[in-house]
Amino acid sequence: MTLGDYLPFWNKLTEKQRERLSSKSNKIRFQKGMLVHGESDECSGFLLVTEGQLRVFTISDEGRELTLYRLFERDICLFSGSCMVKNIQFDVTVEAEQDTAVFQIPADVYRDLMEESAVISNFTNELMASRFSDVMWLMDQVMNKKMDGRLAAFLLEECRLNETKELSITHEQIARHLGTAREVVTRLLRLFQGENLVKITRGTVELLDENGLEVLAAHSLR
Amino acid sequence: MTLGDYLPFWNKLTEKQRERLSSKSNKIRFQKGMLVHGESDECSGFLLVTEGQLRVFTISDEGRELTLYRLFERDICLFSGSCMVKNIQFDVTVEAEQDTAVFQIPADVYRDLMEESAVISNFTNELMASRFSDVMWLMDQVMNKKMDGRLAAFLLEECRLNETKELSITHEQIARHLGTAREVVTRLLRLFQGENLVKITRGTVELLDENGLEVLAAHSLR
């Protein structure tokens, strides 16, 4: 697969623009767990995921993490190149949750193209609108769902992503996704275990009753 | 003042584009308290505030409100025209907090211009990035600040906006801004009163100690 196979606007570019994109972009691999883009990093550019899985999250001043969204094959990480769009006044951190490969387009290359091409600029608009929608969904969750429902939804999503019913994940890691304290996760998981929804062992959470968790996720209004 | 005085990209448009914008846009007035754009409304288009103040907020399935940001003179309301950008999958409600005047550019007119002009499309990008940054700031507040600090910050901002130390506002209204319950606001305001930070009477909150409230707003980590 080449860069052109992943960019929906490829056919609308001029020959010169395509050449510039192809010659300037790099293929980069990240091992599972590696930092892809740090908060204080220089602008890492536009990242197009060709395989694997990225987690995009914020870190508060107090070190508390909150997962904003995940990126999968064919998704694009825009905010690793926040310098490409004026007025982005927040930082995100990106890490590889699986072994991941990306095409990286340097920020200045993409920005120049955006400035000369309405097609690319409008594509960027749609991309930002998708991420904005993700964050607005999360805001609704955070404001209006109780933590038990958010935890249930998180466990179900993790199992779906990893195609397993037994997650290798610590309470600390779950807390980082949900932006809460480890103690809260531990307390809720014990509650879930008491209700035969999950079985906890050291470092794993096994889902026993997916339907029960679905119900909890759907009916957890705050 | 004409439309051109408010749009930073005006000078970069062709004569034809300017004519189209001028002839198709409308000046609309909203009285304080009026609904400008409802959740389920058709796409109301691009609104450019020429005077007054708009509040942009979400309403959860349960009817709980959360103020996302305010728009003032020269600000632009993009999400009242969410049909203009693909992939916007959330709804906002907009109401006039003061008597307000706007230039309204119909969604189809703006969308057509965005499609043909990289300048307008990039301007839209920057606009969306600003609002995204506002929402990310709010997310940080919601996740990491205690409600007492958020309430203190809200009271200070309201006084600044209204150039007064005595706010005419109900506990219910404050709760709607902060996305919490009225009881929570009442409890906190009583606490603040006990600490001589504010004085509460029916329908008003008077700020007695702005410095104390500033300190509270700054040191209210969750």
Instruction: Write out the residue limits of the CATH 1.10.10.10 domain(s) in chain B.
Output: 145-218
Q: Do B121 and A125 touch (CB under 8 A)?
A: yes
CA distance A173 to A49: 23
pLDDT (tens digit per residue) in A180-190: 889 889 989 99
Nearest CA in chain B to A119: B115
What does the alpha-carbon distance between residue A179 and residue A188 come to, in Å, rounded to a whole number?
A: 14
Evaluate the CA torsion angle B53, B117, B3, A88 in order and state its sign: positive
pLDDT tens-place string over residues A175-212: 999 998 898 899 899 989 988 999 999 889 999 999 99
Judge whether residue A11 has pLDDT over 80: yes
Instruction: Return the number of other C-beta atoms located less than 10 Å from residue A204's C-beta.
Output: 13
Average pLDDT for B66-76: 94
Where, residue-wise, is CATH 2.60.120.10 in chain B? 3-142
Q: CA A71 to CA A52: how far, in whole Å?
A: 8
Q: Is A15 on the interface with B (CB under 8 A)?
A: no
Q: Do A122 and B117 touch (CB under 8 A)?
A: no
Short-list A132, A128, A50, A39, CA closest to A84 = A128
| B131 neighbourhood in chain A, CB within 8 Å | 132
B138 has a chain A CB within 8 A of its CB: yes
Give the model confidence (pLDDT) of A121-154 as tens digits: 999 999 999 999 999 999 988 888 889 999 999 9
Q: Structurally, what CATH architecture does the domain formed by A146-218 represent? A: Orthogonal Bundle (1.10)
pLDDT at B222 over 70: no
What pLDDT, on the 0 to 100 scale, is given for residue B43? 85
Tokens linked to A23: 């010659």
Q: Return the CATH architecture of domain B3-142.
A: Sandwich (2.60)
CATH topology of domain B145-218: Arc Repressor Mutant, subunit A (1.10.10)
3-state secondary structure of B32: coil
Structure tokens at B213: 């409230």
Residues of chain A in contact with residue B60, where contact means CB-CB under 8 angstroms, are 140, 143-144
ipTM of the complex: 0.86
Per-residue pLDDT tens digits for B108-125: 999 999 999 999 999 999
Residue B17 has pLDDT above 70, yes or no: yes
Is B220 in the A-facing interface, judged by CB distances under 8 Å?
A: no
